[in-house]
Amino acid sequence: MAAENEQLQVPKLKLGNQGLEVSKLGFGCMGLTGVYNAAIPEMDGISIIQDAFKKGITFLIQQMRMEPLQTKSLLVRHLKSCQEKRFS
């Protein structure tokens, strides 16, 4: 078992030809909003997404046709918080 402070290196790959990179490991957000189980509180969902992002998982997966709009709301709030931290 890895030590808690040991950072994992998540492999990345190029997405398209614009120079964007995402993690090879994706995080499916469908379970956060009650598709598979009871929905979790919004702040918990945002916290889970932020934790995945901090660990290097930058490929966040959301199915618009199958998921409620709550998932989009969680992702938008997470991305706004990242942008605020980056530019402040």
Residue 32 has pLDDT above 70, yes or no: yes
Residue 88 has pLDDT above 60, yes or no: no
Residue 15 has pLDDT above 90, yes or no: no
Domain count, the chain: 1
pLDDT band at 23 (very low <50, low <70, confident <90, very high): very high
Q: Are 60 and 27 in contact (CB under 8 A)?
A: yes
Q: Is residue 43 part of a domain?
A: yes
User: What average pLDDT does the segment 10-18 reach?
Assistant: 90
Domain that holds residue 39: 23-87
Q: Give residue 19's region: left, alpha or beta (phi > 0; psi -120 to 50).
A: left
User: What average pLDDT does the segment 59-65 reach?
Assistant: 73
Q: Is residue 14 part of a domain?
A: no
Q: Is residue 67 part of a domain?
A: yes
How many angstroms separate the Cα of 76 from the Cα of each of 69, 70, 82, 87? 11, 10, 10, 16
Q: What is the pTM of this model?
A: 0.66
Nearest to 60, CA basis, from 40, 44, 45: 45
